[in-house]
Copies of this chain bind each other. A is one copy, B any other.
């Protein structure tokens, strides 16, 4: 049983192929009785337009690619869910591709070695910079998601990573912490996002007159729990921080796990702030204080920006900034809240006394 095509429907309804096509695409130009007859025939035969033929004729597919490092990281999974949901509303289908944060794979996928045929790409880079992306050969339009403003003529949608990191660190300072570590730099990647967060961290320290200790800036290989565990183990052994700012929630949860193993209390001994506001962080013990990007908006704006770019490729590259929020939970509670910071035991500060 072959799938019905326009010809089959046309024969059944006693009209020409072209009229059926019109009913499907521009119903208003077809007289009501004819249209009715054709619609019935479509219904009876279960006709569905052949997307391949349509694409061949019109040159586009209504399919976009979502290129992420790894779809199983909660942050990207949550983002993907929103992108897929919203894309559907816009009549688009989403193909998911994983780069593992590998520069070569990122390059390949962008050049359409595989997802080829997609009308546009939403790209979450780890290795490539905006310049590299904008320099690349002609290919479907790209919107970079999570990348920071800068030069290059690509569209970018992201939160203010530097500002958000600054806020996070200020929050830790407000808790009376002075030895604040940063976990998550990735010197082996040109991960611009991590760089921005580090910049925010450093700027915050300068703001409040704290000295940056190199041993408190901990690089990691990847951004997973295990890396967070390792980083925290190193910090506990050598640098004795009283707070840790992790560049992702997964790092933060790993760090907290190490604290639990070693009997270090969070937040009393060490306060921890994460980044991304992944779902599990809301339910972990202790619940994670974190920077929450407005993911809904992130997905939505990435898609509409892509749509505008697809409509007019001559547009200048735009930088769209999406709001974020520091969500204060247990791992770094509000200053003056019930949980006393470790510092309170030192003679110099006695919050319990006030």
Interface residues of A (CB under 8 A from B): 1, 46, 48, 50-53, 55-56, 61, 63, 70-74, 77-78, 80-81, 84-85, 88, 93-98, 112, 114-117, 137-138, 224-226, 229, 253-254, 256-257, 260-261, 279-280, 282-285, 287, 343, 347
Residue of B nearest to A70 (CB): B81
User: Is there contact, CB below 8 Å, between A74 and B71?
Assistant: no
A137 to B46 alpha-carbon distance, docked (Å): 10
User: Is there contact, CB below 8 Å, between A97 and B84?
Assistant: yes
User: Is there contact, CB below 8 Å, between B72 and A81?
Assistant: yes
Q: Choose one: B1, B88, B94, B283; the contact of A257 (CB below 8 Å).
A: B283
A71 to B88 alpha-carbon distance, docked (Å): 14
Determine the chain B residues whose CB is within 8 A of the CB of A226 once the complex forms. Answer: 347
Copies of this subunit: 2
A55 to B55 alpha-carbon distance, docked (Å): 10
> Can you list 6 residue pairs at the A/B interface with Cβ under 8 Å?
A48-B116, A50-B56, A72-B74, A254-B283, A257-B285, A280-B280
User: Is there contact, CB below 8 Å, between A225 and B50?
Assistant: no
* Distance in Å: Cβ of A289 to nearest Cβ of chain B: 15
A225-B279, A285-B285 known; A98-B112 Cβ under 8 A:
no
A155 to B271 alpha-carbon distance, docked (Å): 50
Determine the chain B residues whose CB is within 8 A of the CB of A225 once the complex forms. Answer: 279-280, 282-283
* Distance in Å: Cβ of A138 to nearest Cβ of chain B: 6
Q: Choose one: B70, B77, B138; the contact of A71 (CB below 8 Å).
A: B77
Residue of B nearest to A266 (CB): B285
* Distance in Å: Cβ of A238 to nearest Cβ of chain B: 20
**Known interface pairs A52-B55, A71-B71; 15 further A-B residue pairs with C-beta atoms within 8 A, sorted by A's residue number:** A1-B138, A50-B56, A56-B56, A71-B80, A72-B279, A84-B96, A84-B97, A253-B284, A256-B285, A257-B287, A260-B285, A261-B343, A284-B284, A284-B285, A285-B285
A55 to B61 alpha-carbon distance, docked (Å): 12
Q: Choose one: B1, B80, B88, B256; the contact of A114 (CB below 8 Å).
A: B88
Determine the chain B residues whose CB is within 8 A of the CB of A50 once the complex forms. Answer: 56, 117
* Distance in Å: Cβ of A93 to nearest Cβ of chain B: 6
